[in-house]
Structure 1
């Protein structure tokens, strides 16, 4: 994991983003937010499991499907299986130690 603080790479609404192998943060204060960092680390693990490129293809495809389903970009984002897994488990700082391979699939439906 490589943390990079750069507010110019992210849109105003985004505090951070995991782009293998980086976690890009809007500001330095987020470095001390263990829950936020854990959320992004979960995404890094998902990306590694899917050999990076397939993660992004799946993410965009699922986002588009959810957008059609919910007719809201925000609801589409919140219901992507990768995001559901990350938001559900972000407070469990030991989650990555016990997480099973491709665990995001249980959040598909």
Structure 2
């Protein structure tokens, strides 16, 4: 879980999971772009709207715009070097 400026992990072994760390770093970048607090507000609002729409936590979570970007790019360990500002907007 990414809570600026930290990445919180369940266990120490996850520190070696480059894909997971990349996913969370993408969230840190998203948070910075939105000056941190608005990110959390938009994230929660997006989740609640999707929860009403899908009536399912997992579907709602995986369709949050910020998660869509992070999951789509998590395998590309160079993504943040080339990522454009507000790239999450394409997932609206």
TM-score by length of 2: 0.98
Q: Which deviations, in whole Å up to 9, do the C-alpha atoms of 1:74-100 show, x marking residues without a partner? A: 110000000000000000000001111
Aligned counterpart for 2:84 among listed residues 72, 93, 100? 100
Establish whether residue 82 from structure 1 lines up as the match of residue 66 from structure 2: yes
Establish whether residue 57 from structure 1 lines up as the match of residue 37 from structure 2: no
* Runs of 4+ with >4 A deviation: none
Q: Distance in 2 between matches of 1:73 and 1:32?
A: 28
Q: Which deviations, in whole Å up to 9, do the C-alpha atoms of 1:19-67 show, x marking residues without a partner? A: 0000000000001000000000000000000000000000000000110
Q: Which runs of 5+ in 1 are unaligned?
A: 1-16
* Residue-pair matches, total: 92
The structure with the largest helix share of the pair is 2
Which residue does the alignment assign to 2:54?
70
Q: Which runs of 5+ in 2 are unaligned?
A: none
Aligned counterpart for 1:48 among listed residues 9, 25, 32? 32
- Kindly indicate whether structure 1 or structure 2 has the higher relative contact order, using CA contacts under 8 Å at least 6 residues apart: 2
The structure with the largest strand share of the pair is 1
